[in-house]
């Protein structure tokens, strides 16, 4: 028998987009194997990637459309399910207007799907009410990056630059658990004599690798960054020539930093003045350095200003727009980067264009063959959209997210979803959100379809189809094609991903995220292409842009902009009733809302359920015992999970992972206070109290 060829492709989960080879097995199932030629992970995979094929099994996934009948979801034909969705969307629009229709997308969707979903909302439904879960992810960093540099691409350099810089400050990233294969770049940095500073309220597996670990109170990174900048100025470590030649706004920023005395910063953050001094010394001594942020400082009601303050530190010391130096954000979801570029965001058109820019509207409307005036304006942000369900928004199409578990103030969001007149969900599995739907559509996933993703490096990659989907399952592109036709738009929604990508190329041409020089053929031959990659006018193809800003920033005058930010408290500071701060995050063996990874036996064995991390002193004070249940209460509700007692966390802080529904759902507690610029909710700090659960009556 011929051996079945293996297909080189990429992991379905996080933004590292590790390369892997997939081989269908004769006995059924799919083997995941190393793919050493992909330079980012060189064959290494975390447990989620290694077991990803388990979710391809029909045993754990949806294989037939489901329609609600007499309160229950029952199997239906595709035609009947699609007819019903089109009919309900159409009648809702007739009764209440186009903005009564909502669309919610996801950063795990391929570029093709994100593009088609944004176009579907604006062209077919005519609604402005579209947003996606990326708003919950890196939107604060995106806003700050755009403000400072005129362009937002997560990392402005490839990961391979990390080992060659002198010092990295890693702020609120636990990449030893969230992107394990990337740890290699940081180990190599240290082997090369560079240093690593980790800023995290917990001594995580990542912090254990650091030369210096700063453990601030959650929500105080803005003060911390200002305190470091204060010391940089006081110690005469600014790069005056860089500030003069390549930036604007220094004077105001300098003044703001000088108002944050180290002793005052110590009081706010809990990080001691000697530690602040040591951080400045490590960061400023070498010739090059980087600051990388992730969700810790970003998922705050002041996330944009906080990231701005870290960027200020880079600019004042000349560590941006130069080789081996700069600020970067570690994007999260598989297509967290591309998903924020092509139009599923409320204020955005493809190519990272702005929906309120007349030129951008004219260009994209031209590609779409519609009147620019027919395109709706910007809509609500993700949480605001979910909050409006059942009132202003009467029907929702949801693709690629599970907000019942992952949205802030989740019990309220669940109630809003139930209040809808009509909910349609396209998913791979019957997620907690799909369980509430009127119609559920079973869709194909990564290994069963071709499409592109854009990794945290800004590297556009081709994910290839390696196996046939189970019968009964169709692609997201098929769903949008069929719904469009039923709603009277016959053309413009092809089911072939390459055809969608060809249109995306044209729509993105000339925009900030220009993909027009990228083709499926190139992606098949190269290990990805970094955007911007405009179409070449001569014989030689544009090589793509691994490193940004070396010749100037993407602002009109080519200079980076300082942000004169000052510290402010979290939206909900502890008080007598809620004396502790809750922060939330991830564990290595579960992914996001857990919809996929909770269906994998090996991962469940490694991370079977939620827990509450608390310091031994706090545990002793409330009488909590290791493994015994504790109840965490916030102004939104309560959650119960076993205590995990560890001196790795600050005594004034508790931590919960957010991967589970039910009793231990962390998001029952979280505060939907929004950042005024990015509209990012404050997932990383809210006031709570913790109590032991008494013995059963």
Could you list the residues that contact ligand MGD (CB under 6 A)?
14, 106-109, 133, 136-137, 171-175, 177-179, 199-202, 204, 218-219, 221, 294-297, 299, 332-333, 399-403, 405-406, 426-429, 431, 443, 445, 476, 583-586, 588, 590-593, 595-596, 655, 658, 666-667, 670, 683-685
| Strand residue runs (E) in 536-666 | 560-561, 580-585, 612-614, 629-634, 637-645, 653-657
Interaction of residue 446 with ligand SF4, rule CB under 6 A: no
| Cα separation, 222 vs 570, whole angstroms | 11
Answer with the entry of ligand SF4, Mo ion, ligand MGD, none that 586 interacts with (C-beta below 5 to 8 A by kind).
ligand MGD
Tell the smallest beta-carbon distance from residue 474 to ligand MGD (Å): 11
Taking CA 574 as the corner, what is the angle to CA 570 and CA 577, rounded to the nearest 5 degrees?
145
For residue 400, how many C-alpha atoms fall within 13 Å in the half-sphere facing its CB? 30
DSSP secondary structure letter of residue 259: T
The smaller minimum CB distance to ligand SF4, of residues 9 and 317, is found at 9
Interaction of residue 595 with ligand SF4, rule CB under 6 A: no
| Cα separation, 375 vs 343, whole angstroms | 12
Helix, strand, coil proportions of the chain in percent (round to 5)? 35, 20, 45
Tell the smallest beta-carbon distance from residue 594 to ligand SF4 (Å): 13
Answer for the pair 404, 416: CB distance below 8 angstroms, yes or no: no
The smaller minimum CB distance to ligand MGD, of residues 239 and 449, is found at 449
- Find how far residue 214's CA is from the centre of its chain: 24
Answer for the pair 426, 50: CB distance below 8 angstroms, yes or no: no
Answer for the pair 153, 458: CB distance below 8 angstroms, yes or no: yes
Interaction of residue 180 with ligand SF4, rule CB under 6 A: yes
Answer with the entry of Mo ion, ligand SF4, ligand MGD, none that 181 interacts with (C-beta below 5 to 8 A by kind).
ligand SF4
Contact with ligand SF4 (CB under 6 A) among 124, 179, 265, 291: 179
Answer with the entry of ligand SF4, Mo ion, ligand MGD, none that 201 interacts with (C-beta below 5 to 8 A by kind).
ligand MGD
The smaller minimum CB distance to ligand MGD, of residues 381 and 402, is found at 402
Interaction of residue 137 with Mo ion, rule CB under 5 A: yes
Tell the smallest beta-carbon distance from residue 544 to ligand SF4 (Å): 21
Taking CA 306 as the corner, what is the angle to CA 531 and CA 588, rounded to the nearest 5 degrees?
70
DSSP secondary structure letter of residue 178: H
| Cα separation, 447 vs 53, whole angstroms | 8
Interaction of residue 17 with ligand SF4, rule CB under 6 A: yes
Tell the smallest beta-carbon distance from residue 14 to ligand SF4 (Å): 3
Interaction of residue 586 with ligand SF4, rule CB under 6 A: no
For the chain, the maximum distance between any two Cα atoms, rounded to a whole number of angstroms, is 80
Tell the smallest beta-carbon distance from residue 48 to ligand SF4 (Å): 4
Interaction of residue 198 with ligand SF4, rule CB under 6 A: no
Answer with the entry of ligand MGD, Mo ion, ligand SF4, none that 180 interacts with (C-beta below 5 to 8 A by kind).
ligand SF4
Answer with the entry of Mo ion, ligand MGD, ligand SF4, none that 670 interacts with (C-beta below 5 to 8 A by kind).
ligand MGD
Answer with the entry of ligand SF4, ligand MGD, Mo ion, none that 219 interacts with (C-beta below 5 to 8 A by kind).
ligand MGD
Closest CA to 219 of 557, 652, 665: 652
The smaller minimum CB distance to ligand SF4, of residues 128 and 453, is found at 453
Tell the smallest beta-carbon distance from residue 547 to ligand SF4 (Å): 22
| 282's tokens | 């490590």
The smaller minimum CB distance to ligand MGD, of residues 364 and 479, is found at 479
The smaller minimum CB distance to ligand MGD, of residues 414 and 427, is found at 427
The smaller minimum CB distance to ligand SF4, of residues 48 and 665, is found at 48
Interaction of residue 13 with ligand SF4, rule CB under 6 A: yes
| Cα separation, 15 vs 39, whole angstroms | 14
Instruction: Write the binding mask 325 to 364 for Mo ion: x where contact by CB under 5 A, - elsewhere.
Output: -------x--------------------------------
The smaller minimum CB distance to ligand MGD, of residues 108 and 492, is found at 108
The smaller minimum CB distance to ligand MGD, of residues 177 and 239, is found at 177
33-72 residues near ligand SF4, rule: CB under 6 A = 41, 45-46, 48-49
| 670's tokens | 């979280």
Tell the smallest beta-carbon distance from residue 334 to ligand SF4 (Å): 7
| Cα separation, 223 vs 262, whole angstroms | 9
Partnered with residue 644 across adjacent β-strands are 613
What's the burial of 438, exposed, middle or buried (CB within 10 Å: 0-12/13-18/19+)? buried
**Are β-strands 629-634 and 560-561 bridged in parallel, bridged antiparallel, or unpaired?**
unpaired
Answer with the entry of ligand MGD, ligand SF4, Mo ion, none that 18 interacts with (C-beta below 5 to 8 A by kind).
ligand SF4
- Find how far residue 481's CA is from the centre of its chain: 27
| Strand residue runs (E) in 269-410 | 290-293, 326-329, 348-349, 353-354, 395-399
Tell the smallest beta-carbon distance from residue 359 to ligand SF4 (Å): 37
| 494's tokens | 């092809």
71-90 residues near Mo ion, rule: CB under 5 A = none
The smaller minimum CB distance to ligand MGD, of residues 308 and 318, is found at 308
Instruction: Establish whether the linkage from the previous residue to 532 is cis, with ω within 30° of 0.
Output: yes
Answer with the entry of ligand SF4, Mo ion, ligand MGD, none that 401 interacts with (C-beta below 5 to 8 A by kind).
ligand MGD
The smaller minimum CB distance to ligand SF4, of residues 49 and 610, is found at 49
Alpha helix positions (H), 56-134: 78-96, 111-119
Q: Tokens 């809702």, residue?
A: 92
The smaller minimum CB distance to ligand SF4, of residues 176 and 529, is found at 176
| 68's tokens | 């609600």
The smaller minimum CB distance to ligand MGD, of residues 179 and 365, is found at 179
Interaction of residue 14 with ligand SF4, rule CB under 6 A: yes
| Cα separation, 66 vs 126, whole angstroms | 26
Q: Is 679 left (phi over 0), alpha (psi -120 to 50) or beta?
A: left
DSSP secondary structure letter of residue 31: E
Answer for the pair 173, 296: CB distance below 8 angstroms, yes or no: yes
| Chain residues that interact with ligand SF4, rule: CB under 6 A | 11, 13-14, 16-18, 41, 45-46, 48-49, 179-181
| Chain residues that interact with Mo ion, rule: CB under 5 A | 137, 332
């Amino acid at each position: 028998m011929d051996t079945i060829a293996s297909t080189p492709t990429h992991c379905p989960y996080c933004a590292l987009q590790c390369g892997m080879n997939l081989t269908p097995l004769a006995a059924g199932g799919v083997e995941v194997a190393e793919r050493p030629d992909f330079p980012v992970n060189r064959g290494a995979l975390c447990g989620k990637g290694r077991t990803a094929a388990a979710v391809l099994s029909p045993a754990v996934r949806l294989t037939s459309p489901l329609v609600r009948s007499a309160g229950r979801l029952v199997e239906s034909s595709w035609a009947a399910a699609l007819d019903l969705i089109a009919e309900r969307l159409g009648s809702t629009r007739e009764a209440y207007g186009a903005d009564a229709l909502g669309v919610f997308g996801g950063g795990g969707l391929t570029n093709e799907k994100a593009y088609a979903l944004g176009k579907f909302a604006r062209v077919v439904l005519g609604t402005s009410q579209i947003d996606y879960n990326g708003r919950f992810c890196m939107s604060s960093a995106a806003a700050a990056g755009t403000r400072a540099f005129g362009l937002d691409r997560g990392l402005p350099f490839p990961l391979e630059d990390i080992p060659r810089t002198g010092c990295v400050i890693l702020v609120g990233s636990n990449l030893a658990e969230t992107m394990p294969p990337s740890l290699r770049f940081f180990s190599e940095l240290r082997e090369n004599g560079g240093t690593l500073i980790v800023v995290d309220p917990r001594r995580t597996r990542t912090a254990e690798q650091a030369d210096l670990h700063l453990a601030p109170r959650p929500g105080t990174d803005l003060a911390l960054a200002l305190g470091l900048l204060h010391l940089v100025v006081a110690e005469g470590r600014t790069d005056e020539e860089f500030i003069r030649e390549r930036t604007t706004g220094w004077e105001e920023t300098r003044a703001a930093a000088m108002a944050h005395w180290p002793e005052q910063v110590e009081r706010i953050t809990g990080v001691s003045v000697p530690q602040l001094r040591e951080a400045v010394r490590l960061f400023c001594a070498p010739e090059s350095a980087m600051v990388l942020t992730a969700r810790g400082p970003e998922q705050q009601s002041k996330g944009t200003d906080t990231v701005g303050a870290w960027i200020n530190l880079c600019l004042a010391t000349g560590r941006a727009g130069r080789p081996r130096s700069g600020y970067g954000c570690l994007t999260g979801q598989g297509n967290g980067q591309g998903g924020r570029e092509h139009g599923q965001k409320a204020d955005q058109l493809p190519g990272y264009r702005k929906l309120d820019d007349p030129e951008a509207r004219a260009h994209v409307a031209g590609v779409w063959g519609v009147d620019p005036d027919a395109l709706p304006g910007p809509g609500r942000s993700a949480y605001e959209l979910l909050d409006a369900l059942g009132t202003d928004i009467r029907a929702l199409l949801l693709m690629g997210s599970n907000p019942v578990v992952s949205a802030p103030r989740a019990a309220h969001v669940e109630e809003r979803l139930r209040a809808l007149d009509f909910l349609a969900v396209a998913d791979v599995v019957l997620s907690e959100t799909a369980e509430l739907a009127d119609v559920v559509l079973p869709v194909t996933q990564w290994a069963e379809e071709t499409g592109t993703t854009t990794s945290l490096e800004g590297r556009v990659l081709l994910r290839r189809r390696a196996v046939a989907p189970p019968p009964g399952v169709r692609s997201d592109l098929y769903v949008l094609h069929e719904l469009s036709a039923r709603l009277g738009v016959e053309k413009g929604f092809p089911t072939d991903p390459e055809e969608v990508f060809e249109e995306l190329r044209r729509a993105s041409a000339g925009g900030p995220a220009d993909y027009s020089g990228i083709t499926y053929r190139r992606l098949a031959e190269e290990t990805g292409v970094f955007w911007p990659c405009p179409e070449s006018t001569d014989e030689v193809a544009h090589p793509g842009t691994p490193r940004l800003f070396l010749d100037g920033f993407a602002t009109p005058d080519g200079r980076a902009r300082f942000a004169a930010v000052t510290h402010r408290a979290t939206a909900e500071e502890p008080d007598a009733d809620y004396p502790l701060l809750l922060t939330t995050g991830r564990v290595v063996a579960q992914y996001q809302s857990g919809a996929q990874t909770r269906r994998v036996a090996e991962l469940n064995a490694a991370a079977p359920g939620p827990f509450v991390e608390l310091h031994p002193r706090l545990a002793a004070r409330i009488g909590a015992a290791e493994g015994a249940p504790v109840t965490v209460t916030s102004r939104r509700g309560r959650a119960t999970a076993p205590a995990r007692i560890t001196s790795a966390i600050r005594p004034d802080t508790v931590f919960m992972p957010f991967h589970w529904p039910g009793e231990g759902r962390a998001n029952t507690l979280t505060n939907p206070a929004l950042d005024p610029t990015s509209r990012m909710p404050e997932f990383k700090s809210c006031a709570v109290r913790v109590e032991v659960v008494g013995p059963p009556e």
